[in-house]
Chains A and B, each alone.
Chain A
C-alpha cells in the first residue's frame, strides 16, 4: 500500500518520466505545456500513442508511448500537429531523441549463446543506432538511437532484453550509477 502510494507520488513529481512522442520537450516543461488535446493521439496512424490515466497523477491526459505494446514508427505525423509546442515540429526521423535503448546483457539472447538479430535488423536507423560487435553482440549507439522503441517491441525474450527509456529517465539513471 505504502509502496503504491510512493509510486504514485514519484509519478506525481515526475521522477518516472514515460516515453513521449517524437519531438517532446523535457519532461518538466512537457507537463506544463501539453494541453492534453489528444491531437497527436488521433493523428497517429499506428495507434502508438496512448493517453496517460489517473495512475500517472499530474501527467494524466498526456500522450505516452508503451513501446513494448506498439512502438513509434517515426512517421513524423504528430510533431507538427501539436498546438502548444510540447512536441517541437521536427520533420526528420534522425532528429528524434525520444529516449535511449538499453540492452540487458543478462537476458539478451546473443550474450547467452543464441544468435538473434531481431533488434539489429528492425532498427529504423539501420546499422547506425544498433550495430553488431563481432557480428554477434548488439550494441546501442547513443548519438544515433532515436528511442522509437521498435527494438523493445520486437525483442524475442520476455520481458524484453532491450528497453527504451525516456531520455530524461536515463539521465537520472546515469547520475545514480556515478554515485
Chain B
C-alpha cells in the first residue's frame, strides 16, 4: 500500500486534486436536484450530519465575535487533526486554488525563465506569522471578515456553487484572478507561501511527529551539480535544507522526483533527529568545497 503510494505520488495527487474540484461541481448540481446528503463549500461542508469547518474561519469568528461557536469548533477538529498527523496536506492535495496556481507557476517558469533559480532558498520563518498576525489584527479592529475573502479554497468553491446553483458569479472571483496574475508576473506563489490564513492556521497544528519530508544526505546522488528536487517543488522550497516548514505542504513532488535518483527524500513521521541536522551541515560543507 505504502509502496503503491510512493510509486504514484504525482498521479495520485493530481487525481485527488481533480476529484475535489469534481466533487464541488457535483455538490451544487445534486443540491439543485434536491439531494442534500453533501452540501456546502470548502468554507464549511456537511456530509450527512458531520460538519467540517475551515479552522481559519473558526479562529476568525472567535476573535471577531468574541464567543465560542461550538459547531465551528467541533467542525475545525477534523482538518486540524489531519494537519497534526499529515501536515498541510489539504493545501497540497485538495485546495483548488493550489491546483490553478501550480499550472500558473508552470506558465511563470516558461514566461520568465530568469525567475527560476537553480537552488531555492527557504523563506525566513517569522514573515509567515507576521502576515498571519496582521490579518487577524486588522479583522479584529475593523470587523471585516477578511479570512472569508482570503480563504481562496472556500471562495472558489463558493463561486462555483453560486454559478451552478444560482447562475450568478460575484466580483470576489476577481480576487483569485488578481492573485494568480501577481503570482505569475511578480512574486511566485506568494499567496500560499506568505499570506493564506487557511494554510497558516493548519500550519499551527504541527508537532514534532507530524509527517514531514526527510532528507538523507548520504543517499543524495545529484548534489551539488543538479537540484531536481528544487525544480520539482511547486512553491520554490529547498527540501535538501532545513526550514521548509511551515511552508511545505507535503505535496510530495520532491519525493516523487527523488525516486528516480537516490531516493534521499522520503516522507516520515519520525521527529527530526540531531543526526540529520549534522548531515545537513556536512552537505553544506561539501557544497562549499
A residues near B (Cβ < 8 Å) are 29, 31-39, 41-43, 45, 47, 50-51, 53-54, 58, 60-61, 81, 83-85
Instruction: Select A38's contact among B40, B54, B72, B75, beta carbons within 8 Å.
Output: B40
Known: A34-B145, A39-B41. 14 other contacts (CB 8 A): A33-B69, A35-B148, A36-B145, A37-B43, A37-B45, A38-B40, A39-B39, A39-B44, A42-B31, A43-B39, A50-B168, A51-B168, A83-B51, A84-B57
Name the distance in Å between A82's Cβ and chain B's nearest Cβ. Answer: 8
A85 touches B69 (CB 8 A): yes
Name the distance in Å between B28's Cβ and chain A's nearest Cβ. Answer: 6
A83 touches B161 (CB 8 A): no
| Complex Cα–Cα for A43 and B40 (A) | 9
Whether, in the assembled complex, B208 has its beta carbon less than 8 Å from a beta carbon of chain A, the answer is no
B residues near A (Cβ < 8 Å) are 27-28, 31, 34, 36, 39-41, 43-46, 51, 53-54, 57, 60-61, 64-65, 69, 71-72, 75, 143-145, 148, 154, 158, 161-162, 165-166, 168, 170-172
Chain A residues with CB under 8 A of B69: 33, 83-85
A42 touches B44 (CB 8 A): no
Chain A residues with CB under 8 A of B43: 35-38
Name the distance in Å between A36's Cβ and chain B's nearest Cβ. Answer: 5
| Complex Cα–Cα for A50 and B161 (A) | 12
B65 touches A33 (CB 8 A): yes
Who on chain A is nearest to B158 by CB?
A: A38
Chain A residues with CB under 8 A of B64: 32
Instruction: Select B36's contact among A33, A37, A43, A61, beta carbons within 8 Å.
Output: A43
B61 touches A41 (CB 8 A): no
Q: Can you report 25 residue pairs joining A to B where beta carbons are below 8 Å apart?
A: A33-B69, A35-B61, A36-B154, A37-B154, A38-B40, A38-B161, A38-B162, A38-B165, A39-B39, A41-B162, A41-B165, A42-B27, A42-B39, A43-B39, A45-B34, A47-B165, A47-B166, A51-B166, A53-B168, A60-B172, A61-B172, A83-B53, A83-B69, A83-B75, A84-B69
Instruction: Select A37's contact among B28, B44, B165, B171, beta carbons within 8 Å.
Output: B44
Name the distance in Å between B40's Cβ and chain A's nearest Cβ. Answer: 5
Also in contact, A42 and B57, with CB within 8 A (given A32-B64, A60-B170, A61-B148): no
A37 touches B145 (CB 8 A): no
Name the distance in Å between A56's Cβ and chain B's nearest Cβ. Answer: 9
| Complex Cα–Cα for A35 and B69 (A) | 12
Who on chain A is nearest to B145 by CB?
A: A32
| Complex Cα–Cα for A177 and B79 (A) | 51
| Complex Cα–Cα for A60 and B169 (A) | 11
Name the distance in Å between B135's Cβ and chain A's nearest Cβ. Answer: 15
